[in-house]
A and B are shown apart, each in its own frame.
Chain A
């Protein structure tokens, strides 16, 4: 659950829920034992706690959709969470705010695909889909070129490519500078 979204979103959702009937039944004032017409403005702490609970119950996708609608440009799709996720998957970093902006523009551009009616259309993977793919027979006819291949690597030991230790995850986004410069 990203906590980077603006506080006002939480409050808006919370206010909406507080105003309407809530599945959990009690309104804030009732739960505090206050009755009658006394207007009580819930303390900020209460609202935050309630909002976080509401947020947690909402499906993750739904929350993101909300943030997307917040801005027609599509910005808001690329949250800090998404940035971190993509950087981890791609092992390539954004590097700057411009790169994030470019991604947002790219997504907005790609969104135009929604306008096309593709009902009943099968995805096309290859233009040669109607043809047979031929595989070579599984016989060794070449190879034995370990030396040649090893020459291209920067770090080899005997016939091994040498890699640094694995199983060490990258530091999280907030544990490092947001946009390290080259």
Chain B
């Protein structure tokens, strides 16, 4: 049951084949079993069971709230949740319990979803490995998959366990939670690729909505002009269901656009001959692994063979996008992190000599090196003598990058097809050889130009590498064409038929099949 899609489970709940409480308990048990993945920082067991109870009552009365009623979900720990500790994986916010829910969290709860817990991340969402949080790194469930282990001729659970793989980041905890079947959907955040990167490494759908479509109220901000909440699921239809719940104007977030929100019901595309797929040539970099390149090429051929128009396009300022992002990100971070002074919330040091001394020591104790480094870099770029040369310059380059995309989409291209990551997930020991900034600069290369332009993008897992690890490709669409983008993505997903992760050893105890399940012979393909 835990391996089903959201829609399938929703149907099963409506038919009484499984109850929300059973689902909840199964997920909680699996979370306990997969604790070694370190995907969750906080597991809200009591709250989830209470929510399950309420959901069950609704189902008994036939008054379910919708597709998400009774469905276990997880939320990245930089979204505020009432009564549940929200830490951003940082000492600065350890023990901080928000008095309000982020809008997206509230929307999920209003639909009856069960909040299983808050997931692990890089500290303050800065990083591309989910390795730099104070609660430790997140392990990629694929490290323990049959597919990976067989290729290495290893047993599923090594006592040694030293060669496990990273999930990617910064929403690695959310990705691991969904990938290991502990929930059906998870919220991440995406500032430079933080949802799509771990999705690619964990074989999931990782969706970044258009900037302005989904509310950021309650998402502890990193870069106000680029952050969006992201959605991680195991199939595109599930993402569409969640997006339908989350999208829309929020009076509490003035950067959300007004106007009617299209339905996110995805039509089943059968004919792609009217589509034009763009392949940006600047994304063909030497560092791209041959396997990813080959899959990218095969995907392009697939569209071509089905009658779509596939053409090479140019995004000339691509090579500057990482630098531009680096300046803008650190500058906004310097501003956003200024709120953490120890007075009203969060960590506070013991020094009482002066306000400034207290602030300085609190911030030294609360932030790790990565965060401090970015704050200092940002402050440097914002100095009066540097402002024009760095910050304003970067904003100008940002316009050039955004215009590149506009020009390409205006030339008749419907959707861009690019790799998501340079290669598959690497072992943790290899990943930490380089520092956070270097890794981010390397790993964000395909994903962060999209954040600068505010466009929707999605990672679709395509195939397993020679080593048995997921490789994904990215689709990018024009602003606010999220539904069209997901429609194309759904078609592609059906073509590639990405394999399900085999975590038999973990699933054995939990897939104690209910009698109802065996009897059910629902043909869900008719949906």
Question: Chain A: residues with CB nearer than 8 A to chain B?
Answer: 61, 78, 82, 85-87, 89-95, 99, 102-103, 105-107, 109-110, 112-116, 118, 121-128, 131-136, 145, 148-149, 151-155, 161, 163-170, 182
Cα A164 to Cα B342 in complex, Å, equals 11
B210 vs chain A, min Cβ distance (A): 9
A154 contacts which of B258, B320, B342, B435 (Cβ < 8 Å)? B342
B380 contacts which of A82, A153, A166 (Cβ < 8 Å)? A82
Q: Are A113 and B354 in contact (CB under 8 A)?
A: no
Q: Which residue of A lies closest to B362 (CB)?
A: A91
The answer to whether residues A163 and B380 also contact, given A92-B363, A109-B323, A126-B225 and a CB cut-off of 8 A, is no
Q: Which residue of B lies closest to A88 (CB)?
A: B356
Say which size band chain B's interface belongs to. 35 or more
B360 contacts which of A85, A93, A106, A163 (Cβ < 8 Å)? A93
B355 surroundings in chain A (CB, below 8 A):
163-166, 168
A152 contacts which of B345, B357, B394, B441 (Cβ < 8 Å)? B345
Q: Which residue of B lies closest to A107 (CB)?
A: B380
> Which of B341, B342, B357 gathers the greatest number of chain A CB atoms within 10 Å?
B357
> Which of B376, B379, B437 gathers the greatest number of chain A CB atoms within 10 Å?
B376
B249 surroundings in chain A (CB, below 8 A):
134
B492 vs chain A, min Cβ distance (A): 26
Q: Are A110 and B375 in contact (CB under 8 A)?
A: no
B479 surroundings in chain A (CB, below 8 A):
127
Q: Are A136 and B251 in contact (CB under 8 A)?
A: yes
Q: Are A86 and B376 in contact (CB under 8 A)?
A: yes
The answer to whether residues A95 and B354 also contact, given A127-B211, A134-B254 and a CB cut-off of 8 A, is no
A43 vs chain B, min Cβ distance (A): 36
Q: Are B395 and A124 in contact (CB under 8 A)?
A: yes
Cα A86 to Cα B330 in complex, Å, equals 14
Q: Which residue of A lies closest to B251 (CB)?
A: A136
B343 surroundings in chain A (CB, below 8 A):
153, 161, 163
Which of B3-11, B158-166, B366-374 lies at the interface? B366-374
| B364 CB within 8 Å of chain A | yes
Cα A122 to Cα B354 in complex, Å, equals 43
A75 vs chain B, min Cβ distance (A): 13
Q: Are A154 and B348 in contact (CB under 8 A)?
A: yes
Q: Are B352 and A164 in contact (CB under 8 A)?
A: yes
A-B contact pairs, 10 of them (CB 8 A): A86-B376, A116-B393, A116-B400, A121-B396, A124-B396, A128-B454, A151-B99, A153-B343, A164-B351, A164-B355
The answer to whether residues A90 and B376 also contact, given A149-B344, A154-B348 and a CB cut-off of 8 A, is yes
A137 vs chain B, min Cβ distance (A): 10
Cα A106 to Cα B342 in complex, Å, equals 28
A126 surroundings in chain B (CB, below 8 A):
225, 255
Cα A131 to Cα B210 in complex, Å, equals 14
B255 contacts which of A61, A110, A128, A182 (Cβ < 8 Å)? A128
Q: Are B397 and A113 in contact (CB under 8 A)?
A: yes
Q: Which residue of A lies closest to B388 (CB)?
A: A123
Cα A82 to Cα B379 in complex, Å, equals 11
B329-355: CB near A (< 8 Å → 1, else 0) gives: 010001000000111111010011111
Cα A106 to Cα B369 in complex, Å, equals 14
Q: Which residue of B lies closest to A94 (CB)?
A: B376
| B324 CB within 8 Å of chain A | yes
| B509 CB within 8 Å of chain A | no
> Which of A82, A92, A114 gathers the greatest number of chain B CB atoms within 10 Å?
A92
| B97 CB within 8 Å of chain A | yes
Q: Are A92 and B397 in contact (CB under 8 A)?
A: no
| B392 CB within 8 Å of chain A | yes
Cα A164 to Cα B354 in complex, Å, equals 5
A110 surroundings in chain B (CB, below 8 A):
323, 326-327, 381, 390, 394
Q: A123-B395, A152-B99 are in contact. List 17 more A-B contacts (CB 8 A).
A: A93-B372, A94-B372, A99-B372, A103-B376, A116-B320, A116-B393, A124-B395, A124-B398, A127-B212, A134-B258, A151-B99, A153-B343, A161-B344, A163-B358, A166-B354, A170-B356, A170-B360
